[in-house]
Amino acid sequence: MATQPIQDLKKLCIHTITTRPWSLSDAISHYAAAGVAGISVWRQAIEGQDPAEAGERIRDAGLAVVSLVRGGFYPAGERKDRQKAIDENLRIIDEAAAIGAPHVVLVCGAVPGQPLEESRKQIREGIEATLSHAESSAVKLAIEPLHPMYADSRSAINTLKAANDLAEAISSPLVGVAVDVYHLWWDPELEEQIERCGQMGKILAFHICDWKTPTDDLLYDRGLMGEGCIPVRRIRGWVEAAGFAGFNEVEIFSTVRWTQNQEQWLGEIIRAYRESS
C-alpha cells in the first residue's frame, strides 16, 4: 500500500542548519509560530550559550529538542588527536544532556589517505570510549551513514548496512542509527537494511531533503523535498513500517536557500513537507 501523505506538522522537525542565517532565538520563534513541532540543534547555533538554558527556551516555546548535531569525527593519524576527539565527544554528550536532546548525531569521520578499514576501527574505538559516559548521561548516539562521496574526509561509514553492522558489533542500547535519505536513497539494499535496523530497535532518527539534478556542489546544494529524485515518501513508509514513530527531520544545506528570505523559505519547507514527504 502506498504511504499516505502527511496530514499535520506533529512530526515535523527542522535542523537549525536548514535556516542557517537565523540565530537560535529566531529559529525557535519562527518554527514555533509556523507550527513546527521539533528542532534539531546544531552546535554552532548554541556556541557561547548555556545549553541548559537553550533547552528551556526551546521547550518553553512548545518545541521538542530532537537531537544535537553533531559529534563524531573520531579517526586521526595520531593517538593524541584521537583522544582529543573522544574528549570532545564527551563534552558533546554533556551538551546533549544539558539541552535535553535524547541523542547526538554522529558524523563518524575519515582521514584522507588513511585506509578506510583503519578509520572504521578508530570509529568503533571512539564510540566505545564514550559509551559509559553516554549511559550515565542517558544520551544515545546515532551513527549516521554518510553518502559515499564523503568517504574521503567526513565518514568511513557509507551505507546503512555498514552502520547497522557497526551498531550491532558495539551492541549497546545507547548506540543506534540515523537514516538520512540524502545519503542512502541510491542503495539497492536500503529497504532491507531499514527493516533490519528496525528489528534491532536501532532507528533513532529520520532525516529528509532531496537530491537535485544537477547537483552543483558536493556539500551545499541539497534540495527541498520534491525538488529532486529521492522517493522521500516511499522511504518514510519503509522507516515507519520498521517501527519508527519519531520525527521527520528536515536537514538541508543550501547556499542558495541560505541567501533567500528565511521566513519565505520556512513556508516553502512546510508546503513541501505536506506535499512531498
**Residue where the block lists cell 523559505:** 265
Give me the 37-76 binding string for its own copies, x by CB under 8 A, dash otherwise: ----------------------------------------
| Region binding its own copies by CB under 8 A among candidate stretches 4-12, 75-83, 107-115, 198-206 | 107-115
Q: What residues from 179 to 218 belong to the interface with its own copies (CB under 8 A)? A: 185-188, 211, 213-215, 218
CB 251 within 8 A of CB 15: yes
Work out which of 112, 171, 173, 245 binds its own copies, going by CB under 8 A.
112
Q: Helix, strand, or coil here: 97?
A: helix
Residue 150 in grid coordinates: 564523503
For its own copies, which is the closer residue by CB, 26 or 191? 191
Q: Shortest approach of its own copies to residue 220 CB, angstroms?
A: 12
CB 186 within 8 A of CB 215: no
Cα-Cα-Cα-Cα dihedral sign, residues 53, 58, 61, 64 = negative
**Residue where the block lists cell 523535498:** 225
Residue 158 binding its own copies, by CB under 8 A: yes
| Region binding its own copies by CB under 8 A among candidate stretches 125-133, 156-164, 196-204, 268-276 | 156-164
Residue 155 in grid coordinates: 565518514
Work out which of 5, 35, 148, 243 binds its own copies, going by CB under 8 A.
148
CB 215 within 8 A of CB 244: no
Q: At what angle do helices 51-60 and 79-99 cross, to 10 degrees?
A: 40
For its own copies, which is the closer residue by CB, 185 or 238? 185
Work out which of 47, 113, 173, 261 binds its own copies, going by CB under 8 A.
113
Backbone angles phi, psi at 210, to 5 degrees: -145, 165
The site for its own copies, by CB under 8 A, has a size of 27
Work out which of 20, 120, 196, 233 binds its own copies, going by CB under 8 A.
120
The conformation of residue 155, written as its DSSP 8-state character, comes to B
> Which strand (E) or helix (H) includes residue 164?
helix 160-170
Residues near its own copies, by CB under 8 A:
112-113, 115-117, 120, 147-149, 151-153, 158-159, 162, 185-188, 211, 213-215, 218, 228-229, 231
